[in-house]
Amino acid sequence: MPSTSLPDCAGAILQAFAARDTALTNIPVIQPAAPFLDMAGEALRRRIFMTESETGESLCLRPEFTIPVCRHHIENNAGTPKRYAYCGMVFRQARDDGASEFFQAGIEDLGSADFAKADARAIADAFGILRECLPESPLAVTLGDQNLFEAVVGALGLPGGWQKRLIHAFGNQKRLETLLDALARPQPVGGLDRRVAGFLADGDEAGLIAHIDETMQATGYSTNASRSPEEIARRLKEKLALSVTSLDAEALHALTTFLSLDIGLDQASAALTGFAEKFGLDIGSAIAAFENRIVAIAASGVAVSDITYRAAFGRPLDYYTGLVFEITEAGPRAALLAGGGRYDRLLTLLGASGHIPAVGFSLWLDRIERAGSQAEDIR
């Protein structure tokens, strides 16, 4: 069973947080489950430890800190910009190395209007703190950008439904490959009720809605507990439209070419500009924002040439909207030590009255501790 005592590296990390003008925040272990189930993503949802209150409210053990820190900010009507730090245990059903309780620490930077500077500061802080904790361990930084991927998908002119599918799959290589295969070789929808298929083929939306409503009434389905007939009809129409959508060879080549980019960040601007020109895609504003971030990263003191840009790289949380990054040990072990990104829509979804841009990162303390011990053993 994992120790409930903070790892030795926690002291140095907390000192680093204090030196970086952050407010250390205490987040309760028991949390309402709904925000995590709605916004965190499937990879985390299936690992949450669930429970219930006496009144039947769904609760969970704290699986991560970003969502509760944002809720804390909203509930306390805190002004922005504001930087929060946290340090504590999170609870997830067993991960790759077998632990279901482990310590995380991190910084959430809320409300900064200078996106490039805030992104660069998140990377620089995460890298700098790891460097202070692991002065002799080689580190590797990988960066992705969901905003760039969305710009490419949008420029290809795909239907909105397909754009949503691809964007939702960003960072999940297996899922993306499945979707690209479906775009290359569309398959008709099968298994539809004969009458439903007939209404869809005739474009008779009113008839389809009436048929669905009649079926729901006959089978005892309550529209209070499930989707309405109108919503079911809309989804069936969308599914049918998506099933017959194909991407021409040139557009498919453009998308796969983009996703194959895996280069040093110092070469990324030129590569992206060349890619856009080759395929005639209007993604100049997304590239400009990407370049502004590179300039800010260089100004923060992190060597841009030491960062890898991977166009297909994402992180398994649904709330990310732009920058995503991870820092690992370099070499064959490649243990994940830090990860983060930008999540500009999250606070609005959680109930904030106005738009609050946000970026942050988490550190895995047990892995940092283990990496330090291994470095000591090597010496």
**Is 333 annotated for ligand binding?**
no
Residues 224 and 145 occupy one common structural domain: no
pLDDT value at residue 225: 46
Residue 249 forms part of a structural domain: no
Q: Is residue 256 part of a domain?
A: no
**pLDDT score, position 224:** 46
Contact 156, 255 (CB under 8 A): yes
Q: According to the model, what pLDDT value does residue 5 have?
A: 80
In a domain? residue 116 = yes
Buried b (16+ CB within 10 A) or exposed e, 210-223: ebbbeebeeeebee
Reduce the DSSP state of residue 108 to 3 states and report it: strand
User: Residues 138, 42: one domain?
Assistant: yes
298 domain residue, yes or no: yes
129 is a domain residue: yes
92 labelled binding-site residue: yes
DSSP readout, 180-194? HHHHHS-----S--H
User: Is 319 marked as a binding-site residue?
Assistant: yes
Rounded to whole angstroms, how far apart are CA atoms 127 and 363? Answer: 10
DSSP letter at 6?
A: P
Same-domain status, 130 and 269: yes
- Torsion of Cα atoms, 346 then 347 then 353 then 356, to 10°: -100
The HSE-up count of residue 243 (CA atoms within 13 Å, CB side) is 12
Residues 43 and 143 both lie in one domain? yes
Residues 62 and 202 in one domain: no
Sheet holding 262-264, edge to edge: 23-24, 82-91, 101-110, 358-364, 336-342, 323-329, 139-145, 307-310, 262-264
86, 69 Cβ separation under 8 angstroms: yes
Residue 344 lies in a domain: yes
Own/partner pairs for 289-293, CB < 8 Å, 24+ apart? Answer: 289/115, 289/116, 289/147, 290/145, 290/147, 290/148, 292/115, 292/116, 293/115, 293/116, 293/119, 293/120, 293/323
Is residue 233 domain-shared with residue 358, that is, in the same domain?
no
The answer to the question of residue 186 being in a domain is no
Residue 15 lies in a domain: yes
Domain limits for position 314? 9-152+261-378
Q: 377: part of which helix (H) or strand (E)?
A: helix 365-378
Kindly state whether residues 238 and 266 are assigned to the same domain: no
Distance, in Å, from the CA atom of 155 to the CA atom of 171, rounded to the nearest integer, reads 19
Q: What is the pLDDT, as a whole number, of residue 33?
A: 94
Residues 235 and 268 in one domain: no
Number of domains in the chain: 2
The pLDDT value recorded for residue 375 is 60
**CA angle (74, 78, 83) in 5-degree steps:** 100
**Contact partners, residue 335, CB within 8 Å, separation at least 6:** 328, 329, 364, 367, 370, 371
Considering the domain architecture, whether residues 236 and 280 belong to the same structural domain is answered as: no
C-alpha triplet 269, 307, 176: angle, nearest 5°? 75
Residues 278 and 144 in one domain: yes
Task: Determine whether the annotation assigns residue 108 to a binding site.
Answer: yes
315 is in an annotated binding site: yes
**Residue 104 annotated as binding site:** yes
Residue 64, marked binder: yes
Report how far residue 95's alpha carbon sits from residue 366's, in angstroms, rounded to the nearest whole number: 13
Q: What is the pLDDT of residue 195?
A: 73
First to last CA, the chain: 29
Is the pTM higher than 0.95? The answer reads no
- 238 and 297 fall within a common domain: no
**Is 321 labeled as ligand-binding?**
no
Residue pair 118/244 in contact by the 8 Å Cβ criterion: no
- Provide the CATH number for the domain around residue 305: 3.30.930.10
Is 121 assigned a ligand-binding role in the annotation? no
- Order across the sheet with 50-52: list the strands: 30-32, 58-61, 50-52
Q: Does residue 200 share a domain with residue 143?
A: no
Residues of the chain with pLDDT under 50: 1, 224-225
Read off φ and ψ for residue 307, nearest 5 degrees: -105, 135
Contact (CB, 8 A) for 143 and 340: no
